[in-house]
């Protein structure tokens, strides 16, 4: 297994570039279709969230895989390669496994410890299951999801990083004052909108208005919050009365236009307005920050504050858990890489023994059944004894840095057909990752195989 990760995230790129890549990637189906058409890639999963766009691929080679994925991202996003490659990160084989396990555990999130990433990874894999993912990425993603669940159930990582909503609302309070009794507008009726509304209600706000493209969805969420639901055609009126606006629609274009905010501000008699944009791509026109009395808080402005949460005992506990899980996963995969060779060797030995016993039967036709059985058992016992030590040792030696080379030597020494282990892999043994955890490579391929 040669797993490659090529991605861009809030840690590697400014929000504006990340937004451009996210918009360009669009639906995973189209990306997966293009990747399957690329010669070196046999399987792929596209993870696209508000904080990252990552392509996980099983590829024939490092450089060919990086070129295929990066060229596709350039084509879809319109970002020139020279600019994009400054912000792309590349992980290969063992390092790719480590990165995915860290992502699943919430260690790589903007808000450390957030659990939404587990659902996002599950949806990404489900989207690819019928079109882009195969047995290699299936095993990798299923293990990553299990590791993420362990991290949240066995440590206190959930509380390591404060909620993105909470941090953003703290900034809003600094701009307009305490939330108690304030009028708020929630744009978007999805899961983030529901979380925002619940947080605001606990903070003691006054009126809550929920605006959504589908008015029915806005009303359903508003009813849970004892608020009012409106369609986006009621956005401007709601802006006039709100003190705080939180937007997180997941739309692919700007939802809150500058001219709409400008007209609303003109009717507010100078009251300050805090706009919290938690969406990527962004919901709110960034130029509204130039309007008098408007305070725009977006993901870009929250990054530095949120980075301070990436420490603490719970975070270290998850890092240790992830390190153990990565070592275990790679060990199992190394064993799985050797197993087909061992199975093929024993199969070859059985063929040789059967052929020799058949010849013996023609040479000694008068041998009685009991004697024949004894001879057969003795021959098979001798062959099994001779094979026992090399097959056990080759499994043990896979723990060494060059462990898989011993399996290669076994194939050469016994003259095994290279197709035999491959056939076993396809029918019996799950594919495996390489034996070593590859270090992070730059896009230019430094340190790559």
Question: What six digits make up the tokens of 287?
Answer: 């130029």
Q: What distance in Å separates the CA atoms of residue 411 and residue 239, rounded to the nearest whole number? A: 72
Q: Which two tokens stand for residue 94?
A: 């063992």
Among 1, 4, 50, 100, the one annotated catalytic: 50
| Strand 89-92 to 3-9 pairing | antiparallel
Radius of gyration of the chain (CA): 29
Give catalytic status of residue 383 as yes or no: no
Tell me how far the alpha carbon of residue 306 is from its chain's centroid: 20
**How many CA atoms lie less than 13 Å away from 59 in the CB half-sphere?**
28
Give me 178's structure tokens.
Answer: 């305490």
Give CA–CA dist 52/9, Å, rounded: 4
Distance, CA of 353 to CA of 336 (rounded, Å): 26
State the virtual CA torsion across 124, 125, 129, 135 in degrees, nearest 10.
150
Q: Is 404 helix (H, G, I), strand (E, B) or coil?
A: helix
Residue for token pair 């993420």: 148
- In the three-class reduction of DSSP (H, G, I as helix; E, B as strand; rest coil), residue 373 is classed as helix
Q: Pairing relation of β-strands 208-212 and 228-231? A: parallel
3-state secondary structure of 88: coil
Would you name the residues annotated as active-site residues? 50
């Amino acid at each position: 297994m040669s797993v490659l990760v090529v991605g861009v995230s809030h840690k590697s790129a400014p929000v504006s570039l990340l937004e451009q890549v996210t918009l360009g990637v669009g639906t995973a189906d189209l990306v997966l279709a293009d990747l399957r058409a690329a010669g070196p890639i046999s399987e792929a999963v596209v993870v696209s969230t508000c904080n990252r766009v990552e392509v996980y691929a099983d590829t024939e080679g490092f450089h060919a895989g990086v070129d295929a994925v990066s060229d596709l991202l350039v084509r879809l996003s319109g970002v020139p390669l020279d600019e994009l490659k400054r912000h792309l990160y590349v992980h290969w084989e063992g390092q790719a496994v480590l990165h995915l396990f860290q992502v699943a555990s919430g260690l790589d999130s903007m808000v450390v410890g957030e659990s939404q990433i587990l659902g996002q990874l599950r949806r990404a894999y489900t989207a690819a299951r019928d079109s882009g993912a195969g047995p290699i990425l299936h095993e990798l993603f299923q293990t990553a999801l299990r590791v993420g669940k362990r991290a949240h159930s066995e440590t206190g990582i959930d509380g390591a990083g404060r909620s993105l909503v909470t941090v953003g609302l703290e900034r809003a309070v600094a701009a307009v004052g305490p939330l108690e009794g304030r009028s708020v507008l929630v744009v978007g009726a999805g899961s983030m909108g529901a979380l925002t509304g619940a947080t605001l209600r606990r903070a003691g706000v006054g009126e809550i208005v929920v605006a959504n493209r589908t008015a029915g969805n806005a009303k359903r969420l508003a009813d849970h919050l004892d608020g009012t639901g409106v369609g986006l055609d009621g956005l401007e009126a709601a802006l006039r009365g709100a003190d705080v606006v939180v937007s997180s629609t997941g739309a692919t274009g700007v939802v809150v236009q500058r001219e709409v905010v400008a007209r609303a501000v003109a009717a507010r008699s100078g009251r300050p307005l805090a706009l919290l944009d938690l969406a990527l791509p962004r919901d709110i026109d960034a130029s509204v920050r130039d309007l008098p009395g408007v305070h725009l808080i977006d993901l870009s402005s929250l990054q530095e504050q949120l980075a301070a949460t990436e420490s603490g005992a719970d975070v270290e506990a998850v890092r240790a858990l992830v390190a153990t899980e990565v070592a275990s996963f790679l060990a199992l995969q190394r064993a799985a890489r050797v197993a087909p060779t061992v199975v093929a060797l024993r199969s070859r030995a059985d063929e040789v023994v059967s052929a020799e016993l058949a010849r013996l039967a023609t040479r000694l036709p008068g041998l009685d059944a009991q004697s024949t059985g004894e001879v057969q058992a003795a021959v098979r016992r001798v062959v099994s004894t001779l094979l026992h030590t090399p097959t056990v040792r080759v499994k043990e030696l896979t723990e060494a840095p060059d462990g898989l080379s011993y399996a290669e030597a076994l194939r050469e020494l016994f003259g095994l057909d290279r197709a035999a282990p491959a056939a076993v892999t396809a029918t019996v043994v799950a594919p495996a990752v390489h034996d070593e955890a590859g270090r992070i490579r730059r896009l230019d391929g430094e340190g790559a195989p």
